[in-house]
Amino acid sequence: MSAEELLWAEKYRPKSLDEIVDQEDIVRRLKKFVEEKNVPHMLFAGPPGTGKTTAALALAHDLYGERYRQYILELNASDERGIDVIRTKVKEFARSKTPPDVPFKLVILDEADNMTADAQQALRRLMEMYSATTRFILLANFPSKIIEPVQSRCVYFRFRPLPKEKVVERLEYICKKEGVECEREALEEIYNLSEGDMRRAVNILQAAAALGKVTKDAVYKAIGYVHPSKVKEILDLALNGDFTKASKLLREVMIEYGLSGLDVLKMFQKELMGGSFELPEELKVLLADYAGEVQFRLAEGADDEIQLQAFLAKLALLGPRFRGASR
């Protein structure tokens, strides 16, 4: 046993296209590019944890060999402060050394759908300007948020959520490799909780394995590592009319985890619309409507905490009425 350990999602990320177990069509087409040593601009679209990043990295690996890292530029649109930073980085990268037997390098731009339309226009110009020496792989959850001119310059790949068997199989494989005991139904539960998101599934598996044997019980405990338990508590307090406590806990969660208002709102939304609370449909509609408004305000650059507080105040206002009525 080595003294060092990694996050399994990285440790078991397929290195080359051959190792990728699912998305056969996509893999076949990508392999063809490798053979021809010619890659077009590409758009990989699909939900989180379906292998977009893995495919992009594996392609680079197969194209450039073990030392592929120096020939790719990884950017995350939601982390880079604006298109100017991206432009500077791409410019520098384009000038760097080209690989010996492939005439271009790769820019992998994750979360490209988080860019504003203006930024995407600038991106389009970048793609044209440097296309002699660089190819872009854009990764996105929602292809519809990518503007037409960019889409039309890219070969489009649609990544689908992994089927249950594939996920469970992979989890089993990891357990075997790690010498971790696991129950099949626990792995199935992990699949259910992760909703086809492979990375999430592996993360939950690793958390559960840290508790010992991977049982259904361990999985339920492990799922607590993410906030839903606290998020649920906040919502529960608010729905019972206790705004003060809910708001205090909200501040704790935001400060402790450094989450953005949008992150928290999305969790709220998921919990409220999901099965966690048995809310009357009428209340759900009201809340969904207000959540939409709050999200819009957040996008307009409004103060995170006050928006969420307003949302909690709304819950505290409506919750007791509806809940009282349904009991």
Partner 1 sequence: MRAVPWIIKYRPRSVEDVVDQEKAKEVLVPWIKKWLSGTPPEKKAALLWGPPGVGKTSLVEAICNEYKLEKIEMNASDFRRKNDIERIALAAATKKPLPPWKGRLILLDEVDGLSPRGDEGAVAAILELIKKTKNPVVMTANDPWGQHLRPLREAALLVEFKRIPKTKARSFLLKICEEEGVHCEKEAIDYIIEKNKGDLRASINDLQAVAEAFGKVTLDLAKALLAERDRVLTPWEMLQQLFYAKYAWQARKAVTSTDLDYDTLFLWIAENVPKQYGDDPYDLWRGLEALSRASVIYGRIKRKMNWSLLPYYFNALGPGVALAKTKYHKRARWSYPERITLLAKTKEVRKIREELAAHLARLSHVSKSYAKGELIPLLSFIAQANPRYFARLALGLRLNDSMVKYLAKKNYAKVKSFIEELSVRPAEEGKKEAQEILEELKEEYQKKTKEKSNKGREAGEGLLKWLKKK
CB of 5 to partner 1, least distance (A): 4
Secondary structure (3-state) at 254: helix
Q: What are phi and psi of 7, to 5 degrees?
A: -70, 130
With CB under 8 A as the contact rule, the residue among 23, 134, 194, 206 that binds partner 1 is 206
Can you tell me the distance from the alpha carbon of 322 to that of 272, in angstroms, rounded to the nearest whole number?
Answer: 14
To which residue do tokens 């000038």 refer? 95
How many angstroms separate the CA atoms of 268 and 209, rounded?
Answer: 28
CA separation for the pair 274, 193 (Å, rounded): 12
Task: Tell me the two tokens of residue 140.
Answer: 């996105």
Residue 258 contacts partner 1 per CB under 8 A: yes
- Distance, CA of 30 to chain centre: 22
Cβ 101 to partner 1, closest distance in Å?
25
Task: Check residue 271 for interaction with partner 1 (CB under 8 A).
Answer: no
Between residues 149 and 228, which has the closer beta carbon with respect to partner 1? 228
Does 70 participate in binding partner 1 (rule CB under 8 A)?
A: no
The contact mask relative to partner 1 for 287-316 (x = CB under 8 A, - = no) is -------x--x--xxxx-xxx-xx--xx-x
Task: Kindly state the smallest distance separating residue 270's Cβ from partner 1, in Å.
Answer: 13
Do residues 194 and 201 touch, judged by C-beta distance below 8 A?
yes
CB burial of 125-137 (b: ≥16 within 10 Å; e: otherwise) equals ebbeebeeebbbb
160 Rama class: left (phi>0) / alpha (psi -120 to 50) / beta: beta
Residue 226 lies near partner 1 (rule: CB under 8 A): yes
Among 22, 200, 219, 250, binds partner 1 (CB under 8 A): 200
Minimum CB separation from partner 1 for residue 171, in Å? 16
Q: Which stretch binds partner 1 (CB under 8 A): 6-14, 36-44, 91-99, 169-177?
A: 6-14
- Contact with partner 1 (CB under 8 A) among 22, 110, 113, 271: 110
- Which residue in 125, 93, 129 sits closest to 108, CA to CA? 93
For the chain, counts of helices (H) and of strands (E): 15, 5
Residues whose CB is less than 8 angstroms from the CB of residue 42 and which lie 6 or more positions away in sequence, other chains included: 135, 136, 137, 138, 154, 155, 156, 157
Regarding 207 and contact with partner 1 (CB under 8 A), the answer is yes
Q: How far is the CB of 209 from partner 1 (least distance, A)?
A: 8
CA distance 113 to 187: 32
Contact letters for partner 1, residues 112-151 (x by CB under 8 A): ----------------------------------------
Cβ distance to partner 1 smaller for residue 153 or 190: 190
Tell me the CA distances in angstroms from 205 to 21, 215, 221, 225, 277, one per residue in order: 19, 10, 11, 12, 26
Question: Which residue from 50, 53, 134, 194 is in contact with partner 1, where contact means CB under 8 A?
Answer: 53
Nearest approach, Cβ of residue 322 and partner 1 (Å) = 13
Q: Which of 26, 243, 265, 272 binds partner 1 (CB under 8 A)?
A: 243
Give the residues lining the site for partner 1 (CB under 8 A): 2-7, 9-10, 53, 57, 74, 76, 78-79, 110-111, 200, 203, 206-207, 210-211, 221-222, 224-227, 241, 243-244, 247, 251, 255, 257-260, 263, 294, 297, 300-303, 305-307, 309-310, 313-314, 316-317, 320
